[in-house]
Structure 1
Amino acid sequence: MSAETPETEAEATAAAAGTAGAAAAAEPVIDRDYPVTPVPRHARKGFFSLMVVLLGFTIFTPTMLAGAALGEAFGLRELLVVIAVGSLVLGAYVAVLGWIGARTGLTTVVMARYTLGSRGSKLASILLGGTQIGWYGVVIGTIGELTAQAFGWESSVARAAIMIAVSALMCATAVYGYRGMYWVSLISTPLILILAFWVMFRSLEEVGGWAGLAAIQPGGQMTLAVAVTTVVGTFVSAGTQAPNWTRFARSGRQAVIACVVGFLIGNGLMIFFGAIGAITFGEGDFVLVLFQLGLIGWGLFLLFGNLWKSNADAAYSFGVAGAELFEKPSKTRFVIYGSIIGTILALLGVGDHLPQYLGLLGTFIPPLGGVIIGDYLARWRRTQMPEGEVLPRFNWVNLGVYALSCALAWGAGQLELGIPPVIGIVAALVLAFAFARLTPRRG
């Protein structure tokens, strides 16, 4: 028996070594963007880097269309008040979520695991990821149509080629991750802002300066509540995913300031630009204003530079949502799959029918952020949603809070009462906080 012991020990050692080797070989390569785990301290970024990425996220020309609707309904003074109030509401909401993202190091969809349960969080991944794929397709289709319009192309093949080419570029940027979006934003955002300010001053020349602009009487009608809802609605859904980037911040304070710069100042400027364009040229989109002025080259630069970085952010968002949904350590395959689906939607022309549907989802996404904020403040502020925490499969209380808050937001919209996204956020935050105080933290 003693003679067999060394052989048995040797076999056990060899088996253990083989098992360890197989485990090491099977261990997946960690995504440097940490889509399903907290961002470690050594991978955190400085304030300037974070500000550039978030500002590049919100300098988004389609936002100008919302500004155009406001410009037709309000005089200059009332317009500035509406933009300020709406931007403050949006900025405050996103800043709180961004602060949580920086403190936990987690994406929005992974935070949802702690709020809705390990399986309940799949609802958040499908909702947020699916919405971003839809908007990705809308933007790809917009680029194809405007480029064809600029050059007078009527061939559907030419449109398709443009859509596929720009989609590949945006997909590659998102696969490269945070660093890719940082460099694109760093180069394009200052140039886009310079061009946008130039168009604004050119617009003011058309109406005799600020005094002439203030003297113009609006022809449209819009209530204050609807106007503020319009401002908040421009980026409240995308802002719910701000933790995808603020989790790279070195402190919660940095995340808050970066969110204020991006969502209060950056988004507010784009709305104001759109309003100015609508008042002076009858067109809120500065890309089309440049086309009208005969500056097709600059118009295309503004189009590609702006939508490239914004759509790369969308691709990044559905990439990390897919990683959470299927519990994989890398976002790459989901960025690629989502980009293909979005491009197919654009090629089929489905994008023409998606905006209203996706806008409806804007009612159902903000309450998710409210639930996360309320639950975090009540249960996780001290421990910061630690990795490895035992979680229930479904947190039925928070799922119920989310459903009720969505119903309240939708009902408010149907009855034209208040600001639906804000009602959904506040209701979800208050109810989630209250119920979390009455229930144990661990599943």
Structure 2
Amino acid sequence: MSVPADGGESVEEHATSRGPATAPAAPAAERRPAPASDPDYPVDPVPPHARRSLFSLAVVLTGFTLFTPTMLAGAQVGAAFRLGPLVGVLVLGSLILGLYVAAIGWVGARSNLTTVMMARYTLGTGGAKFASLLLGGTQVGWYGVSIATVGQLVAQVAGWGDLGAALVMVLSGAVMGVTAYIGYQGMYWLSVVSVPLLLVLAGWVSWRALAETGGLAGLAAIEPTTTLSMTAAVTVIVGTFASGGTQAPNWTRFARSPAAGFWSCLIAFFAGQLLMLACGAVGALAFGEGDFVLVLFQLGLVAWGVVFLIANIWTTNDNTAYAVGVAGAEIFNTRSRKPWVLACVVIGTALAVTGIYDHLIGYLTWLGILIPPLGGVIIGDFLLRRRGVLPDKATLPAVRWDVVAVYAAASLAAWWCSEAGWFIPPVVGTLVAVLGTLALHRRAGVRPSA
């Protein structure tokens, strides 16, 4: 059975219980995108010839998670716990995030569609616009946070004022959009160069931090200076990449197998996230500063600090702008993501100049409440489709109000948990969303896929 693609072409239903089915071989001229189309397929399933290896996906996604604001979140959490409980909180938060993202990454690899295109099947063609606005909008905010980080830190070390910081924000915002504009290939080569460098610098500074405090024994002796509940701490950790992680299918749709999509996400969003959080926490405990860029400045390594800053922000920001690009393509049903990448660069830079940086922690908390339930309904809905096969798009309603109601209930549950300090809001939101979707399908008589 053929399913019309969103641009009007017909593509073979390729998701089965064992993975995507192989469509009949076609001449090379037919398999390649038309000259006017986007080679990254923002509104179509990624064809077999364009798919990537586990290594390629892991490199791109790990570059996404090596991010200075994540270190700042780790620093905030680190200041509130002694070493033993801190390790437990960091591992728990990273594991929750990693498993959640790996699950939705697996779904993306099975469907070969972006998150917002999958949302059309879960929420309806009109309901998906809400998902695109939510996910794309939060990524624009992240772009602004990142650019603000660059501008403020460079201006601080150079001794420039607010005008200098604003100029750096504008320049870096423009430059960092280049690889997102190019697409997957541009992001891959940037990450190939940057990720090893970032890992070496992070490892070296962590070793210096341990030496500064007298090793693990010294770290264990440091008393907390602030208070933060475990639920709030885990919510902040999940919130650092709740929005970006929910959009992991934007990249795992290029996977050659669902397993590659799953493991690439787990590597990046558990291991990579845990590393950045731990570095931020250790830096804060040892130097009173969670941002390794500032730690490098304190150690007199200004040039390396600037390199670390630019590399880790750029490898995240290009993914961020790319996600906005595919969300824009879904909203306006266009085959090119490039105009919306440019829009992200302009709006995100404007937000940076006007002070979004000052609202980081509150922003992360809300991301941890609102985004995971959206991923939860997509995961639950996909798993209960007929062995993962997507229905004909012509049969999709404008809005699936029952699923929207489940999402709203799950978000409300996550918010209540955050307000009450009960359990872990992102986990509650995701579970309520998945279970609510299960209930809807059971009521409709749809059996889970094998």
Q: How high is the TM-score relative to the length of structure 1? A: 0.89
Q: Is the 8 A contact 1:203 1:277 kept in 2?
A: yes
Unpaired runs of at least 5, structure 2? 1-33
Q: What residue in structure 2 maps to residue 48 of structure 1?
A: 55
Greater shift after overlay, 368-377 or 139-148? 139-148
Residues matched between the structures, number: 413
Instruction: Compare CA radii of gyration and give the structure with the larger one.
Output: 1
Q: What residue in structure 2 maps to residue 146 of structure 1?
A: 153
Q: What residue in structure 1 maps to residue 382 of structure 2?
A: 376
Counterpart selection for 1:120 from 116, 127, 145: 127
Distance across 1 between alignment mates of 2:445 and 2:329: 28
Quick one: which amino acid aligns to residue 406 of structure 1?
S
Q: Is the 8 A contact 1:99 1:255 kept in 2?
A: yes
Q: What residue in structure 2 maps to residue 58 of structure 1?
A: 65
Quick one: which amino acid aligns to residue 444 of structure 2?
T
- TM superposition shift of 1:94: 0.7
Q: What residue in structure 1 maps to residue 75 of structure 2?
A: 68
Pair 1:225–1:161, CA change in 2 (3 A): closer
Q: Is the 8 A contact 1:134 1:358 kept in 2?
A: no
Unpaired runs of at least 5, structure 1? 1-26
Deviation string, structure 1 residues 26-85 (Cα, Å, up to 9, x no partner): x87111111111111111001110010111011112111121122222222222222222
Q: What residue in structure 1 maps to residue 140 of structure 2?
A: 133
Greater shift after overlay, 367-376 or 290-299? 290-299
Deviation string, structure 1 residues 140-183 (Cα, Å, up to 9, x no partner): 12211111111111260x33332222111111110111111111
Give the 5 Å matches for 1:180-259. 180-259=186-265
Q: What residue in structure 1 maps to residue 14 of structure 2?
A: none
Counterpart selection for 1:295 from 289, 292, 301: 301
SS where residue 404 of structure 2 aligns?
A: helix
Q: How high is the TM-score relative to the length of structure 2? A: 0.88
Deviation string, structure 1 residues 396-437 (Cα, Å, up to 9, x no partner): 110111111111111111111111111110000000121023
Q: What residue in structure 1 maps to residue 321 of structure 2?
A: 315
Residue 433 of structure 2 is aligned to residue 428 of structure 1: yes
Distance across 2 between alignment mates of 1:361 and 1:198: 32
Q: Is the 8 A contact 2:235 2:365 kept in 1?
A: no
Greater shift after overlay, 311-320 or 222-231? 222-231
Quick one: which amino acid aligns to residue 385 of structure 2?
R
Distance across 2 between alignment mates of 1:56 and 1:272: 16
Distance across 2 between alignment mates of 1:354 and 1:142: 11
Residue 110 of structure 2 is aligned to residue 103 of structure 1: yes
Quick one: which amino acid aligns to residue 63 of structure 1?
T
Q: Is the 8 A contact 1:58 1:267 kept in 2?
A: yes
Deviation string, structure 1 residues 226-285 (Cα, Å, up to 9, x no partner): 333232222222211111111110011111111111011000011111110111111111
Counterpart selection for 1:262 from 262, 268, 289: 268
- TM superposition shift of 1:439: 2.8
Greater shift after overlay, 121-130 or 406-415? 406-415
- TM superposition shift of 1:139: 1.3
Q: Is the 8 A contact 1:96 1:256 kept in 2?
A: yes
Pair 1:224–1:369, CA change in 2 (3 A): same
Counterpart selection for 1:403 from 393, 398, 408: 408
Counterpart selection for 1:364 from 345, 370, 395: 370
Q: Is the 8 A contact 2:173 2:345 kept in 1?
A: yes
Distance across 2 between alignment mates of 1:353 and 1:196: 26
Distance across 2 between alignment mates of 1:120 and 1:293: 51
SS where residue 68 of structure 2 aligns?
A: coil
Matched-pair identity in %:
54
Pair 1:409–1:237, CA change in 2 (3 A): same
Distance across 2 between alignment mates of 1:317 and 1:55: 16
SS where residue 224 of structure 2 aligns?
A: coil
Distance across 1 between alignment mates of 2:73 and 2:404: 32
- TM superposition shift of 1:438: 2.4
What RMSD in Å do the two structures reach over aligned CA positions?
Answer: 1.7
- TM superposition shift of 1:107: 0.6
Q: What residue in structure 2 maps to residue 329 of structure 1?
A: 335
Distance across 2 between alignment mates of 1:63 and 1:429: 27
